[in-house]
Amino acid sequence: DQQVKQNSPSLSVQEGRISILNCDYTNSMFDYFLWYKKYPAEGPTFLISISSIKDKNEDGRFTVFLNKSAKHLSLHIVPSQPGDSAVYFCAAGGSNYKLTFGKGTLLTVNP
């Protein structure tokens, strides 16, 4: 039972354009959501998070949107840069101190 889904295994965008990565979840008990970026041979790096009481959080080029009624969140990267090319994981947490991860989306930003 996959509680956090990233339905796009990969995404390719041009440098300078917007990258939109999507994530759906099924468990309404999740309290907060996070995005991580992962390069090969490295651990995931925290990017940005959002609490379930908010619908938007922004940090520089990264913005996360949360639509609780649709159980959907998205990460917007504007403008996209070649160094953003990595695997992006969506994760959700609740009151049990564990994170549930999606399977990741490989983002490729072309120069």
Partner 1 sequence: KAGVTQTPRYLIKTRGQQVTLSCSPISGHRSVSWYQQTPGQGLQFLFEYFSETQRNKGNFPGRFSGRQFSNSRSEMNVSTLELGDSALYLCASSLGGLENIQYFGAGTRLSVL
Which positions lie near partner 1, rule CB under 8 A? 31-32, 34, 36, 41-46, 49, 51, 89, 91, 93, 95-104
> Measured between alpha carbons, how far is 75 from 57 in angstroms, rounded to an integer?
10
Is residue 59 within 8 A of residue 48, CB to CB? The reply is yes
Query: Residue 19 or residue 102: which is nearer to partner 1 going by CB?
Result: 102
Is residue 4 within 8 A of residue 100, CB to CB? The reply is yes
- State the minimum distance, in angstroms, from the CB of residue 61 to partner 1: 19
How many residues are recorded in the chain? 111
Query: Residue 28 or residue 95: which is nearer to partner 1 going by CB?
Result: 95
> Measured between alpha carbons, how far is 79 from 94 in angstroms, rounded to an integer?
31
Hey, is 82 helix, strand or coil? helix
- State the minimum distance, in angstroms, from the CB of residue 32 to partner 1: 5
- State the minimum distance, in angstroms, from the CB of residue 17 to partner 1: 26
Query: Residue 13 or residue 23: which is nearer to partner 1 going by CB?
Result: 23
| Cβ neighbours of residue 71 closer than 8 Å, sequence gap 6 or more | 24, 25, 26, 28
Query: Residue 100 or residue 108: which is nearer to partner 1 going by CB?
Result: 100
- State the minimum distance, in angstroms, from the CB of residue 11 to partner 1: 16
